[in-house]
Structure 1
Amino acid sequence: MTVSVPTAVALVPAPALVLHAGSLSGSLQSVPVPSWLVVLSGGGLIGASFLFTTLVTDHALIRELNDRRFGLPSPALLRAATRRAIRLLGVVGLALVVVSGLFGPENPVANLAVLLVWAGWWAGYTMSVYLVGDTWPALDPWRTLSGGVAWVGDRLGTGLPRVDYPERLGAWPSVAGLLALVLLEVVSPVAERPRVLAWVVVAYTVVTVLGAVAVGRDVWFDRVDPVARVFRFYGRLAPLQRTDRGVELTVPGGALTRANAPESSDDTAFVVALLWVTTFDGFVSTPAWRSLARPVVDAGVPALLVYALALVVGFTGFLVAYRLAARRARETAETYVSARFIAGWFVPSLLPIAAGYHLAHFLGYFLTLVPALAASLATPLAVAPDLRLLVLPGWFGTLQLGFVVLGHLVAVWVAHSLAFAVFAGRLQPIRSQYPFILVMVFYTMTSMWIVSQPYVAPPYV
């Protein structure tokens, strides 16, 4: 069923479609059960799933289930041609965003730049990364452009001076970058004003290309660029994985259980930040946030400062809570393994939760805007003559709840598998999971509460 744009906007407020596109709040279709029942049911289901997984205590069986892989044919010539085509597609897509953002229609629902960035890329493409496989290293236009700039500079002898990346920084710049991007999305009209979006993309392009050329593409996209790192971590959840033996089909989430070493403290912080920013983007669109922020802003505190403090304080709280859970897990497991090791070892289990949050919101968002995106691709600089939006059925809200729960169920299994990979016996791996399961139950109940809240546009930005 489709409806014209004016009717669709009347049925679905424009901010719910475009502004704060990453928000969980307001994304849930009506569900015929009370919010408190949704929250308690979600937490109870995660607890019950943990009890169920404790029945699987055979180390060899767990490894066998997670290590099932099937190699897929991938001729070298086909790989090279496909890679070049994907790189060209990425650069063309970036050019379309800039040109249509600057010169296309100002209506965000009719502008290709807005639709391509939020619906096509951040919604649809991101889902493909964790549901299918990570193609971003080939598609990434900034990686392609920086490689081209470096090649031209080397040939002409006028390349930018190289800078040694400070090792002490690690991947912390990507953590700060991810938080900054989400703050920009929340406090600015970047999701509803095509001109603003285009200039933000131009600025990001300049910084990324120059930075990658200066410190080296491998270093920049491995440690600094938050977008590349988001897709890399999401890609580890996908069933298609690239290995030394080529492309392999594996159990979804299986690659997360095959770690040889714990994640570093900066990588741990990045995964926690990835989980937190989704929660934050939903929370600031709830009535509860409005009631908390209104008195502070009315007292004269700048709204930007309020949002920034909430973002940083919330991330710090999530990270501290996770590290405390790791410390407590060391005690419950009665092990000499350090709490830092445990935190880095178990943090991949948070990735299915983040993916579940993303899928719960963005599948409906993507499906709703696909007709408009397709129409805008045909006329990138003008309003499409037959611009339509898809209206989803009422039962879609229940499906969204299922995505949130499914992500947490996969997380429980990943944590269970990681525990049996590092601890011996049967009881010690199970005891090590107690604190993390409590954290997951808390995350589940929080996210279920957020998605069940009515959407309230942040009024102070």
Structure 2
Amino acid sequence: MVSRPRSFRHPGRDERSTAHRFAVSLSAFVVAVAVSLSAFVAAAGVATAHAGAVRSAAPGTIEVPTWLFLLTGGGAVGASFLLASFVTDRRFIRSIHDWGGTLPSPGRLLRFVGRFVGVAILLVTVYVGFVGPDTQLRNLAILVVWVGWWGGYVASVYLIGNTWPTLNPFRTLAELLPSLDREYPERYGAWPAVVGLLALIFVEVVAPIGDEPQTLAAVIVAYMGVSFLGSVVFGSDRWFDTVDPISRTFEFYGHAAPIARTDDGLQFRLPGAGLSEAGLVVGRDQVAFVVAVLYVTTYDGFVGTNLWAGFVIELVGFGMPPLLGYLLVYLVGFLLFLRVYWWSARLARRYGDTYYSVEYLAERFAPSLLAIAAGYHLAHNLGVMLSLSPTLLDVGGSTLVDLASGATISPPQNPLTLASLPSWFSGLELFFVLLGHLVAVWVAHAVAYDLFPDRLQAVHSQYGVTAVMVLYTMVSLWIVSEPPATPPYL
């Protein structure tokens, strides 16, 4: 074969071609974001009307069927995939995910203060949970766990960075205990964490730990006991890095945050950029855990809908015990989520026409689901957190004063609350749902272009995961837009 002489090449042609592709990719990326957000505006407007149960059109409003609202949201995610497919310049994609810099280390003193604060909050929460008032919104333990920790702190992990390795009070106390340093069976992998996460959320749904402070405190003590036992047997590092479901959830969520801990200190980057890293998820057990993180946030919202209330009432009508019905649907739903995701991985291998195994493709695309889980968590909990933050501050200040003075814990009878959120807030919740899915689409796009040398391969490999994301989008938007209902029999 005769190759073309080097002297026949046009000087600067490759450079101009690269610059042209970069410009085209940048333009396509901007268009993708603009069109997706425009589609969101339409979806948000529809959802606001739906959430407010507007059936008869008021002046200046349009009654839109629920199915059209859901298709609009799912179509926005599908459109973002189609437009992101025009972003084909690998250097541009890589430059987005490699952008960032370093931050100064927080130092040992700040880490010591963080550990002290974490343990202090844990001890106060447990103590007040057992001896404080029985009233839900007057007991600091309820407010700390559900408003401060579950609503606010969890959001900070994926919005700012994972500070849990420092604040984790269970690990701080467990490190003070002796350890047998037994070898952890490698065949177990992250499966105990999967079981632990599913168990925690199921207890949160079916047990009255959101209403009864003593029950909540007992669950925290039980969780502490399991953590101490596991740390004594296997060592605290092994237990909290591998088995502990909360630590593992925060570790994964932290990869979506703009601030990350590295061997060289702290690093800042674009939000979601860390989810495209290779080696973040390894093995079927970790794939199952990521799917579980997404599933439990969805199930937690689903049990608060009228559809679920009617369904579980029907199950009980057929003679099934209520708790068994909750558990059965819970486990079947998780297996269904897991099965659908593995189906998307098989589609990625088929349409990507690659020698990569289905398991490896499932591992690489799985982190994109964390962006969806983060967006839904924020949408589902932000309203509660904002409404009850004044209550947390009011009750917290009064309780700490009583503890410091040795007086009986007696918070205000009617603590401060935020009466109502503005009418546009429901649209903001839907924005967070859609934003999480758009980030997930981009992460999957970046992973595909990192894996496949051919552009068509990269695009075709995303068919399955995009279809799953569209499905998840429609389910999440439906749950967020539904009027809240009390789960029956609990």
TM-score scaled by length of structure 1:
0.89
3-state DSSP class of the match of 2:194? helix
2:447 counterpart letter in structure 1: L
- 2:69 aligns to what? 38
8 Å CA contact 1:283–1:450 kept in 2: the answer is: yes
Measured at CA, do residues 124 and 29 of structure 1 come closer, stay the same or move farther in structure 2, by a change above 3 Å? farther
CA distance in 1, matches of 2:220, 2:260: 29
CA distance in 1, matches of 2:87, 2:390: 45
- Among 271, 276, 289, the alignment partner of 1:257 is 276
Measured at CA, do residues 174 and 261 of structure 1 come closer, stay the same or move farther in structure 2, by a change above 3 Å? closer
- The reply to whether residue 108 of structure 1 matches residue 136 of structure 2 is yes
8 Å CA contact 1:31–1:395 kept in 2: the answer is: no
2:475 counterpart letter in structure 1: T
8 Å CA contact 1:234–1:355 kept in 2: the answer is: yes
Cα deviation digits, residues 148-185 of structure 1 (max 9, x gap): 123xxxxxxxxx54433221111100100111011101
CA distance in 2, matches of 1:338, 1:448: 33
8 Å CA contact 2:138–2:413 kept in 1: the answer is: no
8 Å CA contact 1:31–1:398 kept in 2: the answer is: no
- The reply to whether residue 92 of structure 1 matches residue 120 of structure 2 is yes
CA distance in 1, matches of 2:383, 2:389: 10
- 2:339 aligns to what? 320
1:148 counterpart letter in structure 2: L
- The reply to whether residue 388 of structure 1 matches residue 416 of structure 2 is yes
8 Å CA contact 2:279–2:364 kept in 1: the answer is: no
- 1:9 aligns to what? none
What are the ranges of 5 or more consecutive residues in structure 1 without an aligned counterpart? 1-25, 151-159
Measured at CA, do residues 262 and 113 of structure 1 come closer, stay the same or move farther in structure 2, by a change above 3 Å? closer
- The reply to whether residue 342 of structure 1 matches residue 342 of structure 2 is no
- 1:147 aligns to what? 175
- Among 421, 424, 427, the alignment partner of 2:453 is 424
TM-aligned CA deviation for residue 104 of structure 1: 0.9
- The reply to whether residue 83 of structure 1 matches residue 105 of structure 2 is no
3-state DSSP class of the match of 2:261? strand
Measured at CA, do residues 274 and 378 of structure 1 come closer, stay the same or move farther in structure 2, by a change above 3 Å? same
CA distance in 2, matches of 1:218, 1:31: 50
CA distance in 1, matches of 2:369, 2:353: 23
TM-aligned CA deviation for residue 34 of structure 1: 4.5
After superposition, where does 1:8-407 map in structure 2 within 5 Å? 30=52, 34-74=65-105, 78-150=106-178, 161-260=180-279, 263-380=282-399, 381-384=409-412, 387-390=415-418, 391-407=420-436
3-state DSSP class of the match of 1:429? helix
8 Å CA contact 2:312–2:488 kept in 1: the answer is: no
3-state DSSP class of the match of 2:176? helix
CA distance in 1, matches of 2:183, 2:263: 29
Which deviates more, 401-410 or 102-111?
A: 102-111
- 1:454 aligns to what? 483
2:343 counterpart letter in structure 1: L
Cα deviation digits, residues 393-427 of structure 1 (max 9, x gap): 11100000000000000000000000001111211
TM-aligned CA deviation for residue 295 of structure 1: 2.1
- 2:463 aligns to what? 434
CA distance in 1, matches of 2:118, 2:148: 12
8 Å CA contact 2:281–2:367 kept in 1: the answer is: no
C-alpha RMSD of the superposition: 1.6
- 1:153 aligns to what? none
TM-score scaled by length of structure 2:
0.84
Measured at CA, do residues 102 and 262 of structure 1 come closer, stay the same or move farther in structure 2, by a change above 3 Å? closer
8 Å CA contact 2:51–2:482 kept in 1: the answer is: no
3-state DSSP class of the match of 2:266? strand
Cα deviation digits, residues 371-394 of structure 1 (max 9, x gap): 010011112232236611112111
CA distance in 1, matches of 2:370, 2:151: 17
3-state DSSP class of the match of 1:389? coil
CA distance in 1, matches of 2:340, 2:452: 22
CA distance in 1, matches of 2:293, 2:219: 21
Which deviates more, 47-56 or 297-306?
A: 297-306
Which deviates more, 373-382 or 351-360?
A: 373-382
TM-aligned CA deviation for residue 347 of structure 1: 0.2
CA distance in 2, matches of 1:260, 1:302: 43
CA distance in 1, matches of 2:210, 2:414: 22
- 2:37 aligns to what? none
3-state DSSP class of the match of 1:203? helix
Measured at CA, do residues 41 and 209 of structure 1 come closer, stay the same or move farther in structure 2, by a change above 3 Å? same
2:132 counterpart letter in structure 1: G
TM-aligned CA deviation for residue 29 of structure 1: 5.9
Larger Rg: 2
3-state DSSP class of the match of 2:393? helix
1:430 counterpart letter in structure 2: V
Which deviates more, 312-321 or 377-386?
A: 377-386
Measured at CA, do residues 214 and 295 of structure 1 come closer, stay the same or move farther in structure 2, by a change above 3 Å? same
1:50 counterpart letter in structure 2: F
Tell me how many residue pairs correspond in the alignment. 423
3-state DSSP class of the match of 1:86? helix
CA distance in 2, matches of 1:334, 1:191: 49
3-state DSSP class of the match of 1:307? helix
2:52 counterpart letter in structure 1: S
CA distance in 2, matches of 1:63, 1:182: 37
Measured at CA, do residues 161 and 241 of structure 1 come closer, stay the same or move farther in structure 2, by a change above 3 Å? closer
8 Å CA contact 1:262–1:342 kept in 2: the answer is: no
TM-aligned CA deviation for residue 301 of structure 1: 1.4
TM-aligned CA deviation for residue 300 of structure 1: 2.5
- 1:5 aligns to what? none
